[in-house]
Structure 1
């Protein structure tokens, strides 16, 4: 019998996945946008990042109370190990990307005069202890966390590619019902 993830886990998985794709597309797109469109694209990127952070927290809290179904029988030991490494790496990134972005944004030299609005609805607070740093330290924090944000983006690409490759391998090469475990349908 196919053991599936809970409906809540499935919904959170696919919403987070869609938001990650949207944020990657925004980051790839804004260098090619007209000047007037760049700031709205970056603001949307920030809003999506904060949303991912909140949903990742919900996902972790849900997982603490709801164990995922065991992997199907027959997976090689290295596949099980790789699966765990990739999944925990993805969880780590779900927190690292938005947090490094939020810290970088809070250290932006003009942050005080350019408030951040969550989806344009209400002001999202920046991290006050970072905004209060002296200008030289703030610039170092901005640059350092900006660099970390960019490096982590490459880890996102790699881990998502590995995650997809594993799912595709098991679904189509091994003929196991891997995708059905994380898709909507009857339990």
Structure 2
């Protein structure tokens, strides 16, 4: 069974872990005590920026290293669904952190509340957005915030389809699908 390369596998799982952690944080912080909300949101932002960096590396790796072909036993519709799902997941892996970064840069108190990447150094906001008229900045904050939320629903759907497809091939079709992307 042809497998993905080691770097492709590592980047896949690092991005997946980052996305799962960020989803968990977004679900958890409404239930946290007030003093814990800001650190949870800051962690969410740090993970999001990290996922963006990993996604760039993953896309560069993918552009220079062909993935293994899908098994020939897959139906044509399964191959098409796989390609569409993967393309949309890639799009969302970029869109989610970018909409979050734009929303964060448009935050009314962005200038006085720096974003620290895992508390280590200040991550830059998007200057063009920060220096817009406050009313425009508020609309951008709200609009990109809403887009960030709606895109998260698309992530949930595509993640579910991605995992369901892999498990279907592994368990129902008795293909060695998971072994193509598992470490080791």
1:55: how far off? 0.1
1:163 matched residue in structure 2: 162
Residues 50-74 of structure 1, C-alpha deviation per residue, up to 9 Å, x if partnerless?
0000000000000000000000111
Unaligned runs of 5+ residues in structure 2 are none
1:135 matched residue in structure 2: 134
SS in 1 for 2:145: helix
| 1:4 and 2:38 correspond | no
2:96 matched residue in structure 1: 97
1:181: how far off? 0.3
1:180: how far off? 0.2
SS in 2 for 1:117: strand
Q: How many Å separate the matches in 2 of 1:127 and 1:51?
A: 16
Residues 142-164 of structure 1, C-alpha deviation per residue, up to 9 Å, x if partnerless?
00000000000000000000000
Q: How many Å separate the matches in 1 of 2:151 and 2:183?
A: 30
TM-score between the two structures when normalised by the length of structure 2? 0.99
1:92: how far off? 0.3
2:149 matched residue in structure 1: 150
1:40: how far off? 0.1
1:27 matched residue in structure 2: 26
SS in 2 for 1:18: helix
SS in 1 for 2:111: helix
Q: How many Å separate the matches in 1 of 2:90 and 2:58?
A: 9
Q: How many Å separate the matches in 2 of 1:12 and 1:131?
A: 31
- Aligned-residue Cα RMSD (Å) equals 0.4
